[in-house]
Chains A and B, each alone.
Chain A
Amino acid sequence: MIKLVYNEMLKIVRKKRLWVIAAIVAVLVALFTYAQYRETEELKKRLGTTDWRTQLQQQIVDLQNRLQSPSMSEEWRKYLQIRLQQQQYYLEHDINPSAPGAPTFMRVFIENAIDLFLPLLVMVVAADLVSSEASTGTIKLLLVRPVKRWKVLLSKYIALLLSVSFIMLTTAVLSYVISGLVFGYGGFRLPLLTGFVPQGEDLNTTNVHMIPQWEYVLMELGLATFVSVVVGTLTFMLSVLLRSTAAVMGIMLASLISGAILSNMVSSWHSAKYLFMVNLRLTDYIKGTTPPVEGMTLGFSMAVLAVWGLVALIVAFVVFTRRDVY
């Protein structure tokens, strides 16, 4: 089995797929870093020379004053207290909250890449994993070996999982290293708020707490990996079903983009929450943004994605092991 996986990895590497992906990530990260840099410069200019420490101190005083007020729900008071702790942390550790460090850049980058950019990169590897063997005819030489068909397919799937890991690692490392050149590498201990639960129009803040940024980033990376694996599995299934890599790419691209569009307009179409493509923005749940359809939670979205992925995997294996190869 290890030999088979080696074969598949060899093919992926020799097709230069992984290098292309790494290059795309590097270029895009550099681009976004520059954009971010321009924005922070602009912000600094607009705010004038006002010392950010003074501002922060002002905010802290504001918060303290509001906390004095007796007519306040217990819940809200707790939230403000946490906010206060966060602001104080910034001040004590001499952190400018509006000036991002590399970890912050990394976090925001992953949040924005999770539903389109990362799945796209995974597609680059997954789309032609099986379909290219079928369209060039090499599948015939692959299947007349003393290896059962499910093992051949499994080796390809494992190679895909390894590639997804490579993509995630490359994205994380490159976004940290490249943006750090401009923003500095500090900021992993920056406290961030999480635990917001949107309830209709309101935000339930009962469970809000602070976690250090490195924990936040790790959580996001985990969720992004999960999404990438599911999208990779779906692409993998299409790659088994279709001979044409272009068709695989087309279908996946269409559904990913439609997901991005649908997310903004399905708030009243409830059954849309069972579509995989509106469930991709898992990181929004830790951020506390309102989900596309009311009642969607992190657990729900992950379950929907897991079911889609599992069904795709089963279809891929059943079809591949039974199909007549022409």
Chain B
Amino acid sequence: MTKQVTLAVKELRKTIRGKEIIKGISFELREGEVFGFLGPNGAGKTTTIRMLVGLIRPTSGTVAICGYDLHHRFTEAIRHIGCIVENPEMYPYLTGWENLEHFARMMPEVGEERIMEVTKLVGLEQRIHDRVSTYSLGMRQRLGIAQALLGKPKVLILDEPTNGLDPAGIREMRAFIRFLAETEGLSVLVSSHLLSEIQLMCDRVAIMAKGRLLAVDTVERLLKEQARVVWKADPVDKARALLAEETEVLRANEEIIVTPYEPAKLAAWNTKLIRAGVAVAQIEPRLPTLEDLFIELTGGETID
């Protein structure tokens, strides 16, 4: 069963004052998936997201939402999108409820029941009639999601949704995003500069740097290729020689040896070392840092 494409981006480019900021980006979002948009600060994530929701006009390329071209059929296309760009700024002098009402008036067929529904969905019933200026950051974030969900969108775009949340809030947000994708069937695009976050909640991920997409793939595949094992063994030289017979030794010094991560073979390698009389103190699979990934994908270019 192929899932429906909800958001299609083709060859998106943006030039600002003669400088190309976004250099031809293409990807697709499907129904029910959480799509990660990973890149360091300044990679062009936010600019891209703004082009997806019509805040910035692309220099060239197209964005189609549920089949509607964003540029030519703006109102039909934008109806299917809910988003938070950067921080969810609301009107602080209005109550949460009034804020939602305010945005509901700008959308067709969003009544009081729907406002009630999204309020419950984000768990703000207790405080919805208080002024937003009295809200904590987490509550504002939830109100932000509530307004994004008002129009029953097919695509939800969240720019750095866990920014500024405490650990409990981050966990809650992650669970909520998974719930929206799995239960409600939304496509969710989440941007982040934290690999761990993307890894924990996304199905697929696009890695972005300097205005380009370096890779688009499922999280497992992308990470597996890059995962490493760090060995601590004594004597190091002997361990290194033995491991080199089995696999590639990527890096080694007086203390550690680094090899590719192959979970199926790890036990066998360990047995071999022990039989040869090497004392193995530590076998640590290590996920690549974002930096490792970038160095790998760009062939040595650093992220900044």
Q: Which residues from chain A sit less than 8 Å from chain B, CB to CB?
A: 3-4, 6-7, 10-11, 14-15, 136-138, 140-148, 322, 324-326
Contacts and interface: CB of A to CB of B under 8 A. Distances in A.
Interface stretch (B91-99, B121-129, B215-223): B91-99
Contact of A325 (B56, B83, B88, B93): B56
A326 B46 CA distance: 9
A137 B54 CA distance: 15
B105 A4 contact: yes
A145 B106 contact: yes
Given A3-B105, A141-B89, A143-B55, A148 B94 contact: no
B193 interface: no
Please classify the interface of chain A as helix (H, G, I), strand (E, B), loop, or mixed, using the class held by over half of its residues: helix
B298 interface: no
Contacts of B91: 11, 14, 138
Interface of B: 50, 53-57, 74-76, 78-79, 81, 83, 85-91, 93-94, 98, 102-103, 105-108, 147, 151
B102 A140 contact: no
A187 to B, nearest CB: 42
A3 B248 CA distance: 67
24 contacts: A4-B106, A6-B105, A7-B105, A11-B91, A11-B94, A11-B102, A14-B91, A14-B98, A138-B90, A138-B91, A140-B55, A140-B85, A141-B103, A144-B53, A144-B54, A144-B55, A144-B78, A145-B107, A146-B75, A146-B76, A146-B106, A147-B106, A148-B75, A324-B56
Nearest to B104: A3
Please classify the interface of chain B as helix (H, G, I), strand (E, B), loop, or mixed, using the class held by over half of its residues: loop
B69 to A, nearest CB: 14
Q: Which of A7, A141, A148 neighbours the largest number of chain B CB atoms within 10 Å of its CB?
A: A141
A245 to B, nearest CB: 15
Contacts of A143: 54-55
Given A3-B105, A11-B102, A324-B50, 6 more contacts: A3-B106, A4-B105, A10-B102, A141-B90, A144-B55, A148-B74
B78 A145 contact: yes
- Please list the 9 inter-chain residue pairs (A to B) with the smallest Cβ-Cβ separation, ordered nearest first: A137-B89, A145-B106, A3-B105, A325-B55, A146-B75, A324-B56, A146-B79, A144-B53, A140-B85
Contacts of A148: 74-75
Nearest to B14: A324
B65 to A, nearest CB: 11
A138 B90 CA distance: 6
Q: Which of B55, B81, B102, B106 neighbours the largest number of chain A CB atoms within 10 Å of its CB?
A: B106
A148 B75 CA distance: 7
A16 to B, nearest CB: 8
Nearest to B46: A326
Nearest to B51: A324
A7 B54 contact: no
Contacts of B88: 141
A17 B8 CA distance: 44
A146 B53 CA distance: 11
Contact of A147 (B50, B75, B147): B75
Given A141-B103, A148-B74, A322 B57 contact: yes
B81 A144 contact: yes
B107 A146 contact: yes
A71 B54 CA distance: 79
A15 B93 contact: yes
Contacts of A147: 75, 106
Nearest to B54: A144
A10 B98 contact: yes
B43 to A, nearest CB: 16
Nearest to B82: A144
Contacts of B85: 140, 144
Nearest to B80: A146
A145 to B, nearest CB: 4
Q: Which of A140, A147, A148, A326 neighbours the largest number of chain B CB atoms within 10 Å of its CB?
A: A140
